[in-house]
Amino acid sequence: MNNDEILKAIGDIDRSYVDEAKPRGKRRFVRAVSTAAAALILVAGLGIVLPKIIGNTPDDKADRTAYATPDTKGADGSQYGDAKNAPVDPPETFGGMKGTVPGFSISLVTLAEAASRHEFIAAVRINGKADADRYSPVDVTECFAGSLPESILVRFPIAGDVIMANEYNRTVADVVLERGGECIVFLDRMTDGTDRFFAAEIIWHESDGSARTLSIRDIEGSTYSAIITALPGVIRDNPYKAPIE
């Protein structure tokens, strides 16, 4: 068997797989500019429900944002984060385009809530924007089990690390991908060098108004801008200095 035999055999694969992967320029455009930007361009372009969109901007709800605090205890009893900063409001949903165009919205949850609602949580680091072109901007670096058994509990990445694509933690990511983690913990490196992190459920809204929570499998590898533009302004603008060891 040689390589062109394999390639030719791939040419004979089931037609449904070929159709499934068919490049779709229009969908790509919609997805590429999805999130808030897409809502603004498409909906404002039609001149229909702009006020509604403006009313749904992240800043509008900034004061009520539920920061996820790293209040999850490790298996060894160590405590991540500061419980005093635990949010008092219920999770809020931001930036969604329900019933208009497809797009992301983010529902913030605490780590404790995430742990109780999801079997697996993946922690990801959002690298600096400058890294986005060179490295995988959203890398699954660690994962947490909802019940935090010792065998799976892992720690947050150490501050100062820059997780690059070629240092991708495949073992952990494979666990997350296999089991379909649904909630992710972002660790964001601020320009002043501090890190902050928060938990979020990523929800994908279809144009028919239906929505589903994206799994890590869906979100893995998404571009920095696709994720970060979906985040509420308060998350971007108000760093939470996480006590990362």
Partner 1 sequence: MQDRDSEIIKLFFERSEDAVSRAGFKYGSYLKSIARRMLRDERDVEETVQDAFLAAWDSIPPNRPDDLGAYLGRLVRNAAIDRAKLNSRKKRGGGEAALVLDEIAELVPGGTEPEEALAGSDLAETINGFLKGLPQRKRRLFVQRYWYFMGEREIAEENLMAPAAVRMQLSRTRRELKAYLAKEGYVYE
**Site of interaction with partner 1 (CB under 8 A):** 1-15, 17-18, 20-24, 28, 31-32, 34, 132-137, 165-166, 168, 170, 177, 217-218, 220-224, 226
Interatomic CA distance for residues 190 and 138, integer angstroms:
15
Task: Please state, as a whole number, how many other Cβ atoms lie within 10 Å of the Cβ of residue 161.
Answer: 15
The residue among 220, 60, 231 whose CA lies nearest residue 140 is 220
Q: Report DSSP state, residue 12.
A: T
Looking at the Cβ atoms of 6 and 44, the one nearer to partner 1 is 6
Strands 195-205 and 211-213: antiparallel
**Beta carbon of residue 164, minimum distance to partner 1 (angstroms, whole number):** 8
Looking at the Cβ atoms of 119 and 178, the one nearer to partner 1 is 178
Tokens read off for 157? 């990445």
Looking at the Cβ atoms of 175 and 177, the one nearer to partner 1 is 177
**Beta carbon of residue 145, minimum distance to partner 1 (angstroms, whole number):** 20
**Beta carbon of residue 208, minimum distance to partner 1 (angstroms, whole number):** 20
Looking at the Cβ atoms of 22 and 84, the one nearer to partner 1 is 22
**In contact, 74 and 163? CB cutoff 8 Å:** no
**Beta carbon of residue 58, minimum distance to partner 1 (angstroms, whole number):** 20
Looking at the Cβ atoms of 68 and 219, the one nearer to partner 1 is 219
Looking at the Cβ atoms of 120 and 135, the one nearer to partner 1 is 135
Interatomic CA distance for residues 9 and 5, integer angstroms:
6
Phi and psi torsions of 145, nearest 5°:
-90, 145
Query: In 12-56, where does DSSP find H-type helix?
Result: 15-20, 25-32, 35-38, 44-46, 50-54
Burial class, 169, CB count within 10 angstroms (exposed 0-12 / middle 13-18 / buried 19+): middle
**Beta carbon of residue 177, minimum distance to partner 1 (angstroms, whole number):** 7
Looking at the Cβ atoms of 3 and 151, the one nearer to partner 1 is 3
**Beta carbon of residue 1, minimum distance to partner 1 (angstroms, whole number):** 5
CA atoms within 13 A on the CB side of 67: 23
**Beta carbon of residue 5, minimum distance to partner 1 (angstroms, whole number):** 6
